[in-house]
Copies of this chain bind each other. A is one copy, B any other.
Amino acid sequence: MREALAAPGVAVEVFATDEVGNRHPELPAAATAAGVPWLRCSGAVVEHLSDTVTPQGVVAVCRMPQVALADAIRPGARLVTILAHVRDPGNAGTVIRVSDAAGADGVVLSHGSVDAYNAKCVRASAGSLFHLPVAAGPDPAAVVVAARAAGLLVLAADGAADTRLDDLDSGTLAVPTAWLFGNEAWGLPSQLRALADEVVAVPIYGRAESLNLSTAAAVCLYASARAQHVGG
């Protein structure tokens, strides 16, 4: 809610219980400052407007920012996340959040992925959806082409790859990079892997068969972020 109210032109109106307004007075203050109506209502109204089982007493009507592919993959971008055929909204939202945390310049949900404005995705992103450009892209192959045209090294994450993340030196990880992540269940199709500059596995040191999407993305994105910011 805080992030939506802070993002210019996003929130249209807010419905909230008095309890929320009293407990978090900075929220109605932020709404007023942004010229967004703060409409007091009962918990039953919020419950009706919300699709969660345990609503938090406040709902905002927001515009969906129109983000073009060129906004998410800008010239000069250093870190970009591309999701290909990612279907679970909780996963997608968590990857948007971790991309933001790792300092990514943009996220692209390619054609066939979940809608970034799915309510579960919005909640899982914990406000990050309003922090960095998140574009609904075309076919994933076209997104990869756009990333390379922007000068990004494209690294595809695939648990079965021969190259391990730990095999990449910090010099390689420090260059402007787009990370490409595939579907939760079946990963990246071979045509997409073939388009990447390198296919990379997060090494499994124990007996787990794999990592889930958001933890694998966290390890990959932070490996790049560390190399880019710390240099080693």
Contacts and interface: CB of A to CB of B under 8 A. Distances in A.
Interface of A: 94, 97-104, 126-128, 131-132, 166, 202-212, 214-219, 222, 225-226, 229-230, 232
Contact of A126 (B128, B208, B218): B208
A132 B206 contact: yes
A208 B166 contact: no
Given A206-B102, A225-B205, A215 B131 contact: no
Number of this chain's copies in the complex: 2
Given A126-B209, A204-B101, A212-B97, A222 B225 contact: no
A207 B131 contact: yes
Contacts of A209: 126-127
Contact of A101 (B206, B225, B229): B206
A145 B103 CA distance: 36
A117 B127 CA distance: 32
Contacts of A127: 208-209
A88 to B, nearest CB: 12
A100 B218 contact: no
A217 B100 CA distance: 17
In this complex, which of A131, A206, A214 has the most chain B Cβ atoms within 10 angstroms of its Cβ? Answer: A206
A104 to B, nearest CB: 7
A103 to B, nearest CB: 3
A166 B229 contact: yes
Which 6 residue pairs across A and B have the least CB separation, nearest first? A103-B205, A215-B218, A101-B208, A100-B208, A131-B207, A103-B206
9 contacts: A98-B215, A101-B208, A126-B210, A127-B208, A166-B226, A215-B215, A215-B217, A218-B219, A219-B222
A94 B218 CA distance: 13
A97 to B, nearest CB: 6
B205 A229 contact: yes
B166 A206 contact: no
Given A98-B211, A104-B206, 16 more contacts: A94-B212, A94-B215, A97-B212, A101-B202, A101-B204, A101-B208, A101-B211, A103-B205, A126-B208, A126-B209, A131-B207, A132-B206, A203-B229, A214-B215, A215-B217, A232-B232
